[in-house]
């Protein structure tokens, strides 16, 4: 009884330690604001989210298709935050940190229960919790989908292990539901059925002889832990020879409902890919994308061991990669794959960890093109496989050392301390958008996206000369950068250079015809210009109505522009109606300045007067 109590105290102590580590690194984020990259578009400027938890909002979250970012549960979690915190970014950050903490604890418990190895499981969970690559997933409000899907991922692993111990339909349905929730948090979990198949091999070692009972060695390990001794990896490892390959078809068939959910989610997501940030990313040849994916696999491994020069955005290499770099990456990946397969019987965790990493990165490694070359957030769940591989390998290799416990304990403390401090410093860059983008420019080269977003921020703060400088630098790096063209147009418009501003808005729309910002900006000039030769009311209405339809939800700025366009064409009643809708949204988002401006506009419309802008 005393031993069992000691075991529970030890496990509880590890969980408390994980909580402390997470809060040491990420607790600072509760004082951070939103950033100007995706947070406005996906969080605090979404009326359905700002309204809090409503029936309409929940329906919107599930029916917002086609969309490459279909994650209804993530959007509902943001609605929950809005319900309690309003526009206070600290509350959103707090939820991210809490979810990441829960995910780290669940990972520890799942690994410990599955392998019987207490300290290796604790170490893997600690590295997962505080690795510097986690900063983007936890400190960025928009990346709620990482930490939320991570919680459901861990819960699915735990439910699956419970199901394999004693198969039953009810337990399988729990697995199915949790997995579906994970997919609805982030579609990246589509390869999880393959991960579960890997776990059948190790550590679950599912075979007819072991399907309904725990292994004797795992039970022995639990006794070792209860006695306060370290669970050695060799004891926790069940020989893979016990795995009966003849049982493989049955195990594969068991995953078919899970695979069906993955396919359904992939279809829903893929339908929206053509609508994703049109014009921001030019299509690259398949060969270049495959080459980039191969190099990315190695890049993420390098960043795992040496997490330096991390950035919020890494520009895509648009040129042919060096042949030597590709050849070395291919040779490395083949060598590791062959080695882990060769050693699969003696050390099954090597193969499981390696295939876990390879498979979970497939949706985001670069073959399916996104606008970034690679991203820190993509490693959130895939790198757990590498942590398993390295941790259990070290435990095995050190099994015969005389001072094994002392050496490994000191090494673990050094590694966790170094990672924790590095992660804390990396997280600090997220305390301000300007600092975040300046750091990205400093640690990357030719980062046109960073320059364009820094220009956007400076523009919002009224630093026009700085905004123009960074727009011009972004266009020097990539002449066909639609965001830079749009921001440059806005800066010039604020300086009173209306004609040049219109030129840049038109260039933006030539590059990205469906650009959601340039179209209303140009429409505003066409509707409100003091110069009669510049005004074009029908064209302004056409541009504004197109954006209003495509947005999928009302937007105060778009409605304000649409109202001005209606007024220019003499449709004053329509202008008043659009402006009144814009006022409701502006009030809901706390934009009192816009409310005042719209009220003045409505007063003019009631007098049948169109708007005329001034510098």
For residue 282, the model assigns a pLDDT of: 58
| Mean pLDDT lowest among 232-241, 249-258, 354-363, 547-556 | 232-241
Question: Is residue 433 within 8 Å of residue 35, measured between CB atoms?
Answer: yes
User: Is the pLDDT confidence value at 378 over 70?
Assistant: yes
3-state helix, strand, coil in the chain (%, to 5): 75, 0, 25
Closest to 568 in 3D by CA, of 595, 596, 541, 545: 541
For residue 226, the model assigns a pLDDT of: 37
User: Is the pLDDT confidence value at 6 over 90?
Assistant: no
* Per-chain mean pLDDT for the chain: 88
Domains defined for the chain, CATH in brackets: 2-430 (no CATH), 527-615 (1.25.40)
Report H helices in 255-403: 256-270, 286-305, 323-342, 348-361, 383-397
Q: What is the pLDDT of residues 142-154, one digit of tens each?
A: 999 999 999 999 9
Mean pLDDT of 357-381: 85
Q: What is the pLDDT of residues 197-225, one digit of tens each?
A: 999 999 998 864 334 434 434 444 444 43
User: Is the pLDDT confidence value at 253 over 50?
Assistant: yes
Mean pLDDT of 492-506: 92
Question: Is residue 111 within 8 Å of residue 128, measured between CB atoms?
Answer: no
User: Is the pLDDT confidence value at 615 over 50?
Assistant: no
Percent of the chain with pLDDT over 90: 71
User: Is the pLDDT confidence value at 457 over 60?
Assistant: yes
Closest to 202 in 3D by CA, of 332, 378, 393: 393
Mean pLDDT of 35-59: 90
Question: Is residue 151 within 8 Å of residue 100, measured between CB atoms?
Answer: no
User: Is the pLDDT confidence value at 504 over 50?
Assistant: yes
Which tokens is 352 given? 């499981």
For residue 369, the model assigns a pLDDT of: 60
Closest to 278 in 3D by CA, of 32, 545, 549, 550: 550
Percent of the chain with pLDDT over 70: 89
User: Is the pLDDT confidence value at 501 over 90?
Assistant: yes
What length is written for the chain?
A: 615
Q: Which residue has the higher pLDDT, 494 or 105?
A: 105
Residue 267, classified by CB atoms within 10 Å of its CB into exposed (0-12), middle (13-18) or buried (19+), is: exposed
Name the DSSP class of 204.
S
């Amino acid at each position: 009884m005393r031993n069992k109590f000691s075991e529970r105290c030890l496990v509880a102590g590890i969980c408390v330690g994980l909580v402390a580590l997470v809060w040491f690194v990420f607790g600072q984020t509760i004082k951070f604001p939103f950033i100007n990259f995706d947070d406005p578009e996906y969080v605090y400027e979404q009326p359905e989210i700002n309204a809090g938890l409503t029936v309409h909002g929940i329906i919107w979250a599930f029916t917002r298709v086609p969309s490459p970012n279909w994650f209804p549960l993530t959007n509902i979690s943001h609605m929950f935050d809005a319900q309690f915190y309003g526009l206070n970014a600290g509350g959103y950050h707090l939820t991210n940190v809490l979810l990441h903490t829960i995910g780290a604890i669940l990972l520890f418990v799942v690994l410990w229960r599955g392998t019987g190895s207490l300290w290796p499981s604790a170490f893997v969970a600690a590295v997962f919790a505080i690795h510097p690559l986690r900063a983007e997933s936890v400190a960025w409000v928009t990346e709620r989908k990482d930490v939320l899907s991570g919680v459901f991922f861990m819960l699915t692993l735990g439910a699956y292990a419970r199901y394999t111990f004693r198969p039953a339909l009810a337990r399988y349905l729990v697995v199915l539901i949790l997995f579906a929730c994970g997919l609805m948090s982030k579609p990246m979990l589509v390869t999880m059925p393959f991960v579960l198949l890997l776990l059948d091999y190790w550590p679950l070692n599912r075979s007819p002889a072991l399907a309904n009972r725990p292994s004797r060695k795992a039970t022995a390990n639990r006794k070792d832990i209860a006695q306060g001794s370290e669970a050695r990896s060799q004891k926790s490892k069940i020989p893979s020879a016990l795995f009966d390959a003849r049982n493989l078809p049955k195990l594969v068939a068991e995953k078919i409902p899970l695979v069906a959910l993955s396919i359904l989610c992939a279809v829903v997501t893929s339908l929206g890919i053509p609508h994703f940030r049109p014009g921001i990313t030019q299509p690259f040849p398949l060969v270049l994308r495959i080459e980039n994916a191969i190099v990315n696999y190695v890049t993420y491994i390098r960043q795992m061991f040496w997490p330096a020069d991390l950035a919020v955005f890494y520009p895509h290499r648009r040129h042919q990669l060096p042949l030597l770099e590709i050849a070395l990456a291919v040779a490395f990946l083949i060598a590791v794959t062959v080695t882990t397969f060769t050693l699969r019987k003696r050390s099954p965790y090597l193969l499981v960890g390696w295939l876990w990493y390879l498979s979970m990165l497939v949706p985001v490694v670069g073959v399916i093109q996104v606008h970034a070359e690679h991203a820190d957030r993509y490693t959130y769940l895939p790198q757990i496989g590498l942590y398993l591989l390295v941790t259990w390998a070290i435990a095995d290799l050190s099994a015969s050392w005389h001072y094994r416990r002392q050496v490994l304990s000191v090494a673990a403390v050094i590694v966790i301390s170094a990672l924790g401090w590095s992660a804390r410093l990396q997280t600090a860059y997220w305390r301000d958008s300007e600092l975040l983008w300046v750091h990205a420019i400093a640690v990357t080269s030719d980062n046109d996206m960073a320059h364009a977003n820094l220009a956007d921020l400076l523009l919002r703060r009224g630093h026009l000369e700085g905004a123009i400088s960074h727009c011009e630098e972004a266009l020097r790096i990539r002449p066909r950068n639609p965001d830079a063209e749009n921001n440059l147009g806005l800066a010039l418009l604020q300086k009173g250079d209306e004609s040049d501003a219109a030129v840049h808005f038109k260039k933006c729309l030539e590059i990205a015809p469906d650009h959601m910002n340039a179209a209303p900006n140009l429409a505003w000039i066409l509707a409100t210009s003091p110069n009669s030769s510049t005004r074009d009311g029908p064209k302004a209405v056409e541009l504004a109505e197109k954006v209003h339809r495509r947005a999928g939800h009302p937007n105060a700025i778009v409605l304000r522009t649409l109202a001005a366009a209606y007024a220019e064409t003499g449709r004053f009643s329509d202008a008043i109606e659009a402006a009144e809708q814009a006022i409701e949204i502006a009030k809901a988002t706390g934009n009192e300045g816009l409310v005042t401006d719209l009220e003045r506009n409505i007063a003019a419309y009631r007098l049948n007067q169109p708007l005329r802008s001034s510098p």
